Amino acid sequence: MITQIQIPLAFENMEEATIGEWLVEVGQQVDKEQPLCELITEKTTFEFPSPVEGTLRLIVLPAKSVAAVGEIICLIGEPKDELPDLETLKNGSGQSSAKSTFKRSAVKSTFAKRNERIRATPAARRAARERGISLEKIVAAYPDKVLIEDDVNNFKENG
């Protein structure tokens, strides 16, 4: 059976995380508690352990992707298991076999908040804070994009 691995709620008020480096490759056998990838949050960076054992079948979100709590990042299962449709997963209507430590209602409210929130990596947020520039101004220059540190560094406030 395919297990959908989701961004965990690592601490209270966590809304999203940036996927750092993937520590396993597609097709690689994964043990339970083996680190899958690095997760970068506003508070910390940590290695995210696999909640199940099996074969990493699909990486849904590549490194440097920003994902909300509850968003599917990869699929683990057996090599013979049929993979679900990727668009179904991204729309959140796929079968849910992931084991989560948080309530579904919390995930739905997080997705609602995320749509109102500026999407930026922790490094971009820090760079904007250090330069004293509002992320709202920067996002206007880069619509429909997850802001990265280079976007902040390349932003010119008067033009």
Give DSSP secondary structure letters for 42-101.
SS-EEEEEPSS-EEEEEESS-TT-EEETT-EEEEEE-TTSPPPPHHHHHTT-S------S
Residue 112 burial (CB < 10 Å; 0-12/13-18/19+)? exposed
Residues 70 and 131 in one domain: no
Amino acid, single-letter form, for residue 87: E
Residues 132 and 99 in one domain: no
CATH number for the domain spanning 70: value is 2.40.50.100
Residues 105 and 29 in one domain: yes
Helix or strand or coil: residue 130?
A: helix
Residues 73 and 91 in one domain: yes
Residues 52 and 129 in one domain: no
Residues 111 and 75 in one domain: yes
Domain count of the chain?
Answer: 2
Instruction: Classify residue 91: in a domain, yes or no.
Output: yes
Residue 20 is encoded by which pair of tokens? 């750092």
Instruction: Classify residue 39: in a domain, yes or no.
Output: yes
Contact 76, 3 (CB under 8 A): yes
**Span 138-158, mean pLDDT?**
80
Which pLDDT score, from 0 to 100, does residue 110 have? Answer: 37
Residues 60, 50: Cα–Cα separation, whole Å: 15
Instruction: Classify residue 81: in a domain, yes or no.
Output: yes
Residues 128 and 112 in one domain: no
pLDDT tens digits for range 63-108: 999 999 999 999 999 989 888 877 766 665 444 444 334 333 333 3
Residues 92 and 53 in one domain: yes
Residues 61 and 107 in one domain: yes
Count CB neighbours of 133 within 10 A.
Answer: 15
Residues 44 and 73 in one domain: yes
Instruction: Classify residue 14: in a domain, yes or no.
Output: yes
Instruction: Classify residue 159: in a domain, yes or no.
Output: no
pTM of this structure: 0.58
Residues 99 and 131 in one domain: no
Which pLDDT score, from 0 to 100, does residue 12 have? Answer: 82
Instruction: Classify residue 70: in a domain, yes or no.
Output: yes
Residues 69 and 132 in one domain: no
Contact 55, 29 (CB under 8 A): yes
Q: Is the pLDDT of residue 60 over 90?
A: yes
Residue 68 burial (CB < 10 Å; 0-12/13-18/19+)? buried
Task: List the domain range (segments joined by +) for residue 131.
Answer: 122-154
